[in-house]
Amino acid sequence: MANHKSSVKRIRQAETKRVHNKYYARTTRNAMRKLNGVTDKAVAVEQLPVVISMLDKLAKNNIIHKNKAANLKSQLAKRVNALA
């Protein structure tokens, strides 16, 4: 157990942030899965900006690396553009 009040507070804050980050990362992954499952191009084009925005927010807050966000956005865009 921590020996200082400040370290106890730091542990509390870290746990809160971990749960918060996990929620937004999971929500984004689910949105990506939903977008990957779409077969209608019109629906996919409509959902793509929402998912890209979510990825940008995760990268901005250092929940995921900016290059990982860029790679995921590229893959999603390529998949959406390939739909007939």
The predicted pLDDT at position 84 comes to 77
Name the residue ranges covered by the structural domains of the chain. 27-82
User: Per-residue confidence at 20, pLDDT binned at 50, 70, 90?
Assistant: very high
- What does pTM read for this prediction? 0.87
Tell me the per-residue pLDDT of 36-47, one tens digit each, with 9 for 90 and over: 999 999 999 999
- Asked whether the beta carbons of 35 and 72 are under 8 A apart, the reply is no
Cβ neighbourhood burial of 79 (10 Å; 0-12, 13-18, 19+): middle
Tell me the per-residue pLDDT of 56-70, one tens digit each, with 9 for 90 and over: 999 999 999 999 999
Q: What is the DSSP string of 67-81?
A: HHHHHHHHHHHHHHH
